Homo-oligomer: A and B are copies of this chain.
Amino acid sequence: MRDLKTITLDDARRVIAAAEHRAEAIGSPSNVAVVDVGGSLVAHIRMDDAQLGSIEHSIDKAFTSAFYRAATVDLAPDTRPDGQFWGMALSNHGRVLVFAGGVPLTDRDGTIVGAVGVSGGTQHQDATVADAAASALRTIDA
């Protein structure tokens, strides 16, 4: 047997707080979702002016990032029609999303312990907010 290191709800709240802080700073009302190491939702928030269409995006980005242990934006090239994983974006019952805003959460040693998904802005805005969120976790003693 073995231990899976994963985030707690407290961790998820710190990640979300960091995301909100950055989203407000750059004026990009966002949905933010945090999943555990198994890809299951731990927490989600929709900021008051974030678009409804981004609710599922945030959850799907976090899921995708945890399931493939990668930033969602890094999956885009391989999943295009000419890429080696063409069709992947249709897999897993439509829960895979391959554009910017999903980022693995790691502890200070680089071990993946979950993922965060941010959606509501441009790809640059979503990535910026997600990176801020992920950074917050790495500064926590755990």
Copies held by the complex = 4
Interface residues on A, range: 35 or more
Of the candidates B56, B87, B92, B113, which one forms a contact with A1 in the assembled complex, judged by CB atoms under 8 Å apart?
B113
Complex contact B52–A67 (CB within 8 A): yes
A56-B91 in contact given A42-B46, A100-B84 (Cβ < 8 Å): yes
With beta carbons under 8 angstroms apart, the residue of B3, B46, B84, B89 that contacts A3 is B3
Residues on B with beta carbons closer than 8 Å to the beta carbon of A40: 38-39, 46, 52, 55
Judged by a CB distance under 8 angstroms, whether A110 is at the interface is: no
30 CB contacts below 8 A, A to B, read: A1-B6, A1-B113, A2-B48, A4-B4, A4-B6, A9-B46, A9-B48, A12-B45, A38-B38, A38-B40, A39-B40, A40-B52, A41-B55, A43-B43, A44-B44, A51-B68, A51-B69, A52-B66, A53-B91, A53-B92, A60-B91, A76-B87, A80-B86, A81-B81, A85-B123, A86-B89, A87-B97, A87-B99, A89-B90, A91-B94
